Amino acid sequence: MTPPSAAPSRRIFYLHGFASSAQSTKGAYLARRLAARGIPLNCPDFNEPDFESLTMTRMLRQLEQELEVTDGEPPRAALIGSSLGGALAILAAARWPDVVDRLVLLAPAVMFAKVGHHLLPPDRVAQWRRAGAMPFFHFGYGEERNLKVGFYDDSLQYDAFTTAFAQPTLIFQGRNDRSVDPRTVELFARTRPNVTLTILDDDHQLVASLPAIWAGIESFLNLAP
């Protein structure tokens, strides 16, 4: 792939995953690497104002504010999205193509909240709906936190898997991922000529592959000194 031309005005955003935080291992690693280049990493916290009322719609609205999507011409932005943050990045690329110019997706949850998803079987969704809220382990807080069923219902209106977008995109996917099916990500990438997929010998967290991922990002965003 031909490296992009230098774009010093491009902002870089890290979009964390579900029940994670802006201070995640991947976010902190990328922030350190970018800081060494004198580049800030923008890390919106999608847990604000609280995790319990989280929805994809709220995340999109928050990202819209962060991107400064207006009638003017804000600086271009590259989005690095992890898991659910990857699905969010895809949706954002389709909505704001004049702002978002490149995507890096880390184990993107392209099938998140689809009916029949292996992590959300019908009986669990039914239990969630009866209770109104259900606890999920939150890696950012290190404890279980309740999440309202509105998150699931709201997510059903978004379909990252079929969303069309034209921006150049890198995907890094672990072949041992038990949260995001690598076969689904391969199918997602196969029909999109703008997407380059790298399968890594890693799990969903991709922590062991961070040096290789950084090397790919460095070249893709033309960050090498």
Q: How far apart are CA 223 and CA 225, in angstroms?
A: 6
Beta-sheet strand order (sheet of 41-42): 41-42, 11-15, 77-82, 100-106, 169-174, 195-200
- Give me 54's structure tokens: 């989280």
Q: Is the pTM here over 0.85, yes or no?
A: yes
In the 8-state DSSP scheme, what is residue 140? T
- Report which residue type is found at 129: R
Q: Which of 105, 78, 90 is nearest to 204 (CA)?
A: 105
CA distance 88 to 124: 24
| Distance between first and last Cα of the chain | 19
Domains of the chain: 11-111+161-220 (3.40.50.1820)
d(CA 131, CA 149) in angstroms, rounded, equals: 8
Amino acid 115: pLDDT: 67
CA distance 85 to 135: 20
* Residue 123 neighbours by CB distance under 10 Å: 8
CB 91 within 8 A of CB 163: yes
pLDDT at 113: 65
- Show the tokens assigned to 224: 């090498």
- pLDDT tens-place values along the chain, 225 residues long: 434 444 446 899 999 999 999 889 999 999 999 999 999 999 999 999 999 999 999 999 999 999 987 666 778 999 999 999 999 999 999 999 999 999 999 999 998 766 666 678 889 999 999 999 999 999 999 999 999 999 999 999 999 999 999 999 999 999 999 999 999 999 999 999 999 999 999 999 999 999 999 999 999 999 977
Burial environment of residue 79 by CB neighbours within 10 A (0 to 12, 13 to 18, 19 or more):
buried
